[in-house]
Amino acid sequence: MKLTYRRFDLTLRHPFTIARGTSSVDPIMLVEVEQDGIVGLGEAAPSGRYGESIESVGRFLASLDASAWNDPFLLEQILAEVDARAPGNPAAKASVDLALHDWVGKKLGVPLYQWWGLDPAKTPLTSFTIGIDTPDMIKRKVEEAEPYPLLKIKLGSDHDREIMKAIRSVTKKTLRVDANEGWKTKELALDRIEWLAGEGVEFVEQPMPASDLAGTAWVRERSPLPLIADENCVRVGDIPTLRGVFDGINIKLMKCTGVREAMAMIRTAKACGMKVMMGCMIETSVAITAAAHLSPLLDYADLDGNILTTNDPYQGALVKDGRLVLPHEPGIGVRPAR
């Protein structure tokens, strides 16, 4: 098998701010595996929060010897080898996972959802994310998000109240809130959540720092809203310790090493009686569409990373009336954008 990769810089529609910082251009790595004249496409969207950069992705991919893999159907074995190559590097690992799954789907001539036995009519609504911004810009973004019935709001700064006030002055839509670890004490987190319960909010993602599980458990015992783990839930092995601390988990392909592990996480969370959400980084349609193929299994979807960019080089899953629409082409099923 041949493995190649190239950097691509995704430009954001608006500079995107969350509790941790701001970005306006996000570099990703597009990956291809080739065997028997079939090309499988993958993508790595590295995040500094999980110790990766575009450079570390390049280094990890350069360390792999794909010429030793001559049967892409052995992805269980190949992906175990890739995972064992070095700790961390989840987005770099995900790019290989996605490319192999795309290759197998293309070889079999079936879209991923069909290979996995999922009903494409059962996709959930996806939320549209509004980053932290000035009240005027937030009102503008909410107007731009008009086609999306669900909004995800980034909070976790000292401006939470003015942001909510700006949003509620222009929309009555159901909101989901992501604090990105921004509320540093349990008392502050509970105070904000109690206030948000009266503001038409459905759930709160990662209210407190991932390092404070005891504080989060204290908040959950008192919280009027469900809590979803994001920064606390990286890979499948994290899930048992989150039982009783959170009501659900947010899976991202770029945290968990790809769709193979995402499937294991979905099954594990369900076995633990927890809700399952899938989110994303700023990504092209390659990774977003791969995640969308799993979406019939989800309670909540937040797969809008491609929509927040202006130069997505691919087209795949679409959003119609807020609902994900899967492509029916084999594999991940993306094609170059027009």
Footprint of Mg ion on this chain (CB under 5 A)?
178, 205, 230
Q: Which helix (H) or strand (E) holds 225?
A: none
Minimum CB–partner distance for residue 225 and Mg ion (Å): 15
Nearest to Mg ion of 103, 148 (CB atom): 148
CA distance 297 to 165: 34
Minimum CB–partner distance for residue 294 and Mg ion (Å): 17
DSSP letter at 117? T
CA distance 332 to 253: 14
Residue of 43, 72, 19, 20 lying closest to 309 (CA atoms): 43
Minimum CB–partner distance for residue 50 and Mg ion (Å): 12
Q: Exposed, middle or buried, 274 (CB in 10 Å: 0-12/13-18/19+)?
A: buried
Minimum CB–partner distance for residue 129 and Mg ion (Å): 9
CA distance 83 to 63: 12
Nearest to Mg ion of 101, 154 (CB atom): 154
Nearest to Mg ion of 83, 205 (CB atom): 205
Nearest to Mg ion of 97, 178 (CB atom): 178
Rg (CA), the chain: 19
Nearest to Mg ion of 212, 230 (CB atom): 230
Q: Are 265 and 256 in contact (CB under 8 A)?
A: yes
The residue at minimum Cβ distance from Mg ion is 230
